[in-house]
Amino acid sequence: MNVLVIGGGGREHALVDAIDRSPLLARLMVAPGNPGMEDMAERVDLNPADHDGVVAFARDHDIDLVVIGPEAPLVAGLADDLISAGIRVFGPNASAARLEGSKAFARDFCDRHGIPQPGFARFDDHTAAISHINASYGGTGCVVKADGLAAGKGVVVADTSDQAIEAVTMMLDGGAFGAAGASVVIEDRITGTEASLFAMVDGTSAIFMGSAQDYKRAHDGDKGPNTGGMGAVSPAPALNDALLQQAWDEVVLPVVAGMKQEGNPYQGFLYCGLMLTESGPQVIEFNCRFGDPEAETILPRLKSDLLSAMIMASDGGLDHTSMRFVDHHAVTVIMVNGGYPGDYRKGAVITGLDEKSGDTIVFHAGTARDDDGAIIANGGRVLAITALGQNNDEARQRAYDRVSRISWDGAFYRRDIAG
DSSP 168-212: HIIIIIT-TTGGGGSSEEEE----SEEEEEEEEEESS-EEEEEEE
Domain with CATH 3.40.50.20 in the chain: 2-91
Q: Which residues of the chain have pLDDT under 70?
A: 152
Spatial neighbors of 132 by CB under 8 A, at least 6 apart, are 121, 123, 186
Query: What pLDDT was estimated at residue 288?
Result: 97
- If 0-12 CB within 10 Å is exposed, 13-18 middle and 19+ buried, where does residue 62 land? exposed
Domain with CATH 3.30.470.20 in the chain: 193-314
Q: For residue 33, is it left (φ>0), alpha (ψ between -120 and 50) or beta?
A: left
CA dihedral 335, 227, 191, 162 (to 10 degrees): 140
Per residue in 144-154, pLDDT (tens digit) is 999 999 876 78
Q: Which CATH architecture has domain 121-187?
A: 2-Layer Sandwich (3.30)
Query: What pLDDT was estimated at residue 77?
Result: 98
Q: Which CATH architecture has domain 2-91?
A: 3-Layer(aba) Sandwich (3.40)
The three-state secondary structure class of 353 is coil
Nearest to 29 by CA among 2, 56, 50, 53: 2
67: number of CA atoms within 13 Å, CB side? 32
Q: What is the CATH number of domain 329-412?
A: 3.90.600.10
Domain with CATH 3.30.1490.20 in the chain: 121-187
Give this prediction's pTM: 0.95
In contact, 418 and 392? CB cutoff 8 Å? yes
- Assign a CATH topology to domain 193-314: D-amino Acid Aminotransferase; Chain A, domain 1 (3.30.470)
Query: What pLDDT was estimated at residue 102?
Result: 96
Rounded Cα distance, 28 and 19, in Å: 8
